[in-house]
Amino acid sequence: MMPITSFYPTFNRYYVVALALLTGATIAQADNCDDLIKMDGLFTKARTECRFTYYAWRFQQDSQLCMEKKGKSVSKELFATGHSAFTSKAASLGKEALCQKLLLDFPMTVKR
């Protein structure tokens, strides 16, 4: 019969590997948070300007989670950057052309 202690080193290695993978996933998600919040700002502005009837709830929820991680002031800045991006792109492409581009590029996120 094997002693119980022989299981511990193997279990410990698996635990460390799993923890490293989870931590890596968290870091990757944190890197994406900036872009996600900016895109939420852009889509929020687009929803009113383009008169979209649908804006994916899941996308907004993910953005909210990121905002909680980033903090109020950073999130506010990132969201405003998304708003500004819509305004500047609409000025260069034309508002309707930008709205059409968003509909084509993000069909699961926004709809008319």
Per-residue model confidence as pLDDT tens digits over 55-107:
999 989 999 999 999 999 999 999 999 999 999 999 999 999 999 999 999 99
Per-residue model confidence as pLDDT tens digits over 30-52:
468 999 999 999 999 999 999 99
- SS3 for 62-80 is HHHHHHHHHCHHHHHHHHH
Query: CA-to-CA distance for 44 and 75, rounded, in angstroms?
Result: 14
The two structure tokens encoding residue 71: 């903090």
The percentage of residues in the chain with a pLDDT greater than 90, rounded to a whole number, is: 69
Residue 12, C-beta contacts closer than 8 angstroms, at least 6 positions apart: none
Indicate the pTM of the whole model: 0.70
Q: Domain limits of the chain?
A: 32-111
Q: What pLDDT sits at residue 31?
A: 63
